[in-house]
Structure 1
Amino acid sequence: MELILRAYDLKLKHTFTISRESIDIQPSLIVELKSDGFSGFGEATSNPYYKTTVPVMIADLEKIRAVIEATENETPEVFWAKIYPYLKQDMFALCALDLAYTDLYARKKGKKLYDLWGYSIDKNPMTDYTIGIASIEKMVAKMQELPWPIYKIKLGTKEDIAIVKELRKHTDAIFRIDANCDWDVDETINNSIELKNLGVEFLEQPIKADNWEGHREIFKHSALPVIADESCILEEDVAKCHHHFHGVNVKLVKCGGLTPGKRMIEEAKKLGLKTMVGCMTESTVGISAIAHLLPQLDYVDMDGALLLAQDIATGVTIKEGVIQYSELNGTGVKLIR
């Protein structure tokens, strides 16, 4: 098996702002694995909050190139368990590698990934489209630029309720709110009442990730369901979120790929938690991997490639929230630059 690493700087259509940062360029690592005439592709992006960069991911993968390239025809689960001890300090790199290997494995089996897993795609949820923080006028303009049935609204400003009230004047779409840890407990509970009346479906990670007493208080008193994001990183976090959140948002880059992501979703379902998978402004490489988990999800946030000025791959396509799969096997990805 051959390992190929490619670094990209993904330019965004608009400056993307959340409560803790703004970006115009998203650095990304694409992993390609080649074997027997087939190629599989995976992706992980840099993220300052999780202290990960593309050069670090490349360095960590290069250290174990020989181990990776010596592998042939193991199941993704066996491969992940084999590689995890080498990359447990770099789950983003592990994610990119796991996605590529899982894609390659499915292609060699001649199947789309959801078929390999035995999933039916008849009732897939639609994806939201994210509106980053900006002036109210710019947020309205972004929403009008791309009419959509579900919007995720990034908040964490001094005028959060005013923003949602103004946006509501321009659409009857479902709203989801993501404050990225910027609110406090009382603010969250109070806002939940007003936001419920404004057609908001749920709140995502309103307060700091490690404030478990606060999460419990919000869980008891919020007028809206609350979904964990920054509080749910690894597999062991799912159980911690039980009775503190109503659901979990699994990010593949944070947990180490599709292999542990599937296990997290299964555990959440057993605990009665709502299931969601989110993205990190990936290209269509990462987004196409997420798409194959749709049959197991209640919600999905997989709009990352739609935020890019220019994509680097083809794969799944999205129109007004509805996801269409590629004709190719595996995750359906093909690099175009």
Structure 2
Amino acid sequence: MKAKYFRYLLKFKRPGGTSRGVLREKETFILEFVENGKKGIGECALFRGLSYDDRPDYEEKLQWLCENINLDPSHLKKELNEFPSLWFGYEQALLNLRHGENLYFPGEFTEGKSAIMINGLIWMGDVQYMEEQIREKLEQGFHCIKLKIGVDWESEHKILQELRGKFSAETLELRVDANGGFSKEEAEVVLQQLADLHIHSIEQPVKAGNWDDMRILCAKTPTPIALDEELIGITDLAEKKRLLETIKPQYIILKPALVGGFAGSDEWISLAEDLNIGWWITSALESNIGLNAIAQYTFTKKSPMPQGLGTGSLFVNNFESSLQLDNELLWFKTR
């Protein structure tokens, strides 16, 4: 087997507002395997400023992977333990090499027989922009909307109040993602305000790494808390277990590119289910290559909850997609 990679810069159609600032482009790396005339493709979806493997020797390690691609997978896994997005790309390219076409996890989803329900994502921005996005998602038929919050809580709170005034919790599920935007004291107030509005859950109310604060919040929160960034960088199984047993969150959010690919996600899911912790899967600004693989993997997990899978429509120069959104349902195009 031979392997090579190339760097690719995805450009946003419109700058995306996050708690980490405004994103205009997203760097990623595409990995290609060739064996006996067959090709496998995967995406090493590095997320600068967020990924555990955002480090100076990243491309060096990617080059090492290409040069040592025929080593035993268990040896490679050990070598790439601190490079979750590289392992994620490796898993995809290997699966794609085996199954061909745009396939990673063939089945009912890739046969076009079943779809995945997803949430509509609302990007941060001024009130008008956020309201415009919400209107669009509601018109498209979404029953679950996720809003990024934590930049201007006063305005964001007003938007949530207006939404809840128009739509009951039974009609519209609302999730919020704070990306660690609040202090523990602020979070205590916000959690109650969210509960008053019957918000489904809040992701990462305080910055990752504050296990004690998060544990205290999760123990008495009136609004379910989901860990997101908290999972990044924890690669040891015993440490994963310790995190979940210490904090006892209501949910965890799995981004395969950030938590060690499908193998890493499987570990987290198994631990969470043993502890009666809920979970769902989200994408993390991958190109259509990585998103396609994540969607196929997600379907195999059979979660009944709306998943956080964007459709790649954020970028002007994305790769061709096998995925198609019909209202809130994500389908695989068979033709």
TM-score norm. by structure 2 comes to 0.83
Aligned to 1:206: 205
Q: CA deviation at 1:256?
A: 2.0
Matched residue SS, 1:104: helix
Aligned length, in residue pairs: 318
1:317 to 310, 318, 324: 324
Aligned to 1:128: 119
**Structure 1 unaligned spans of 5+:** 72-77, 329-337
Q: CA deviation at 1:121?
A: 10
Matched residue SS, 1:50: coil
> Residue type matched to 2:190 in 1?
N
> Residue type matched to 1:309 in 2?
V
Aligned to 1:247: 251
Aligned to 2:66: 65
> Residue type matched to 2:332 in 1?
Y
Taking the aligned partners of 2:279 and 2:219, their CA distance within structure 1 comes to 19
1:306 to 307, 313, 317: 313
Aligned to 1:15: 15
Q: How does 1:8-47 map to 2 (within 5 A)?
A: 8-43=8-43, 44-47=45-48
1:232 aligns with 2:231: yes
2:131 to 140, 144, 151: 140
Aligned to 2:147: 153
**Structure 2 unaligned spans of 5+:** none
Q: Kindly provide the CA deviation profile for residues 66-111 of structure 1, in whole angstroms up to 9, marking residues without a partner as x.
A: 320x25xxxxxx62x2212322332222222222223323449x97
1:293 aligns with 2:298: yes
Q: Kindly provide the CA deviation profile for residues 176-228 of structure 1, in whole angstroms up to 9, marking residues without a partner as x.
A: 10000111223223222322333421111111111111111111221121111
Give the conservation status (yes or no) of the 8 Å contact 2:114–2:331: no
Compared CA separation, residues 3 and 170, structure 1 to 2 (3 A): farther
> Residue type matched to 2:202 in 1?
L
Give the conservation status (yes or no) of the 8 Å contact 2:104–2:293: no
Aligned to 1:94: 87
Moved more, 218-227 or 233-242: 233-242
Matched residue SS, 1:144: helix
Q: Kindly provide the CA deviation profile for residues 133-192 of structure 1, in whole angstroms up to 9, marking residues without a partner as x.
A: 111111111222343322211111232312322454676532110000111223223222
Compared CA separation, residues 122 and 212, structure 1 to 2 (3 A): farther
> Residue type matched to 1:32 in 2?
E
> Residue type matched to 1:313 in 2?
E
Compared CA separation, residues 111 and 231, structure 1 to 2 (3 A): closer
Compared CA separation, residues 111 and 307, structure 1 to 2 (3 A): closer
Taking the aligned partners of 1:225 and 1:125, their CA distance within structure 2 comes to 23
TM-score norm. by structure 1 comes to 0.83
Matched residue SS, 1:113: coil
Aligned to 1:164: 160
Aligned to 2:221: 222
